[in-house]
Copies of this chain bind each other. A is one copy, B any other.
């Protein structure tokens, strides 16, 4: 190639504004749709209409529906940082703190709860969501736990996590009347002790067969 025609390399020219706002609007609309309708029922055209743009614009900013969904899921890790504090501190009332952390994360502001709802709804049909939820259940509760090398502790953490996910699913997705009607603090009062039991088993209730190695 002949190096001849080269415009001033210092600055770009052409249209610029608006683009950033559009991308954010699309992402927000997608977040809400994925959270409320799930992955399959959310169409690119619908998201585009919600955001007030053309469908092909969605494809231009996010290259495919899967990548759009992945962009929504990418919000989750940031919001999970706030989980960690719940697990620090004494064992006493650990269950209570953990339950409260779950409920507040899933029922708080849209920016935090919607990606989590999208993950839950998408976990069955989308691999990204499934993997994210898998990692979430597997390893979230381990942060702050002393015995992260004890296989029994890992199992207990995973069990507590999946149980709490079950409660959130029943309350926010399936819509079990009793769970929907209950006050969050009521749930903390009932579930807290049970989660405590799982995470910090009392000698009386623990089974004798799984003594630490």
Residues on A facing B (Cβ under 8 Å)? 38, 40-41, 121, 123-125, 130, 133-134, 137-138, 154-156, 158-159, 161-167, 169-171, 173-179, 182, 186-187, 189-191, 193-198, 201, 205-207, 209-210
Q: Name the B residues within 8 Å of A201 (CB-CB).
A: 190, 193
Asked whether A176 lies within 8 Å of B134 as measured between CB atoms, the reply is: yes
CB–CB A170/B137 < 8 A: yes
Q: Which of B137, B154, B173, B206 contacts A174 (CB 8 A)?
A: B137
With A186-B210, A210-B186 in contact, is A170–B158 under 8 Å at CB? Answer: yes
Contact flag A158-B133 (CB < 8 Å), given A38-B125, A190-B198 = no
Classify the secondary structure of A's interface with B: helix
How many copies of this chain does the complex contain?
A: 2
Nearest chain B CB to A112 CB, angstrom units: 20
In the assembled complex, the Cα of A182 lies from the Cα of B158 at a distance in Å of 11
Q: Hey, which chain B residues are within 8 Å of A158, CB to CB?
A: 170, 176, 178-179
* In-complex Cβ contact of A206 among B40, B177, B193 (8 A): B193
Expressed in whole angstroms, the minimum distance between the Cβ of A165 and any Cβ of chain B is 5
Q: Which of A130, A154, A163, A187: most chain B Cβ within 10 A?
A: A163
Q: Are B156 and A167 in touch, CB under 8 angstroms? A: no
A162 CB contact (under 8 Å) in B133, B156, B167: B167
Q: A40-B40, A162-B176 are in contact. List 6 more A-B contacts (CB 8 A).
A: A134-B176, A158-B178, A158-B179, A162-B179, A163-B194, A193-B206
Q: Which residues of B have CB within 8 Å of A130? A: 174-175
Q: Is the beta-carbon distance between A190 and B156 smaller than 8 angstroms?
A: yes
Distance in Å from the Cβ of A208 to the closest Cβ of chain B?
9
Question: Which residue of the partner chain B has the closest CB to A176?
Answer: B137
Among A133, A174, A182, A193, the most chain B Cβ lie within 10 Å of the Cβ of A174
Q: Say which residue of B124, B155, B169, B195 sits within 8 Å of A38 (CB atoms).
A: B124
Report whether A154 and B134 are in contact in the complex, using a CB–CB cutoff of 8 Å: no
